[in-house]
Chains A and B, each alone.
Chain A
């Protein structure tokens, strides 16, 4: 079965611009979460969507936002880009269950901000 698909895989933006990243989860997975990975840091949780509602949010500024559509596909948006936003953005999908969800990650979207 198809995995988690993220587009675009690579993109370059300049400071002040905005960017939208897309994620298609595994069929049947209704939870989609987003993580940011920067050099020297582990993955940091951005937010999670379930049934089109944001269920959890990490400690990121309001410039980072997301949404989920009725088909469970999700997008995240970063406005007014800063150099520090350069990172690998990972999307993961899962079936919610008791205990920790086993997340299936996509390959990520690598954003470079110049």
Chain B
């Protein structure tokens, strides 16, 4: 049972345009949501997170939107740059000090930004 789903395995955008990566979840107990980026031969690196009490969090070119009623979140990258080409993972946690490291990940979306 996939509790976090990223339905698009790949996304291709032009440099300078907006990239929108989507993620859906089913577990109502999830309290925190995170996005990680992964380059080949490297471990995932943290990008941005959002608490369930918010609907938007922004950090530079990256903005995450959360729609709790739809159990949907999205990551917007504006403007997209070729260096953003990577696999993006959506992850969720039930939060709390003892379960905060137990993240449930989606399958990932390969983003390609074309110059």
Contacts and interface: CB of A to CB of B under 8 A. Distances in A.
B89 A48 contact: no
Contact of B107 (A31, A41, A94, A97): A41
A35 B97 CA distance: 19
B44 A105 contact: yes
B82 interface: no
Interface residues of A, number: 30
A74 interface: no
Contacts of B89: 42-43
B98 A56 contact: yes
Nearest to A108: B43
Interface string B80-115: 000000000101010111111111111110000000
B107 A45 contact: no
Contacts of B4: 42
Contacts of A108: 43
A2 interface: no
A98 B49 CA distance: 13
- Say what secondary structure dominates the interface of chain B: loop
Contact of B45 (A33, A48, A58, A105): A105
Contacts of A8: none
A58 B31 CA distance: 18
B43 A105 contact: yes
Given A43-B44, A102-B34, A107-B41, A48 B102 contact: yes
A103 B107 contact: no
A106 B44 CA distance: 8
Nearest to A90: B43
Interface of B: 4, 6, 31-34, 36, 41-46, 49, 51, 89, 91, 93, 95-108
Given A100-B100, A101-B101, A105-B43, 4 more contacts: A43-B89, A45-B102, A90-B44, A99-B100
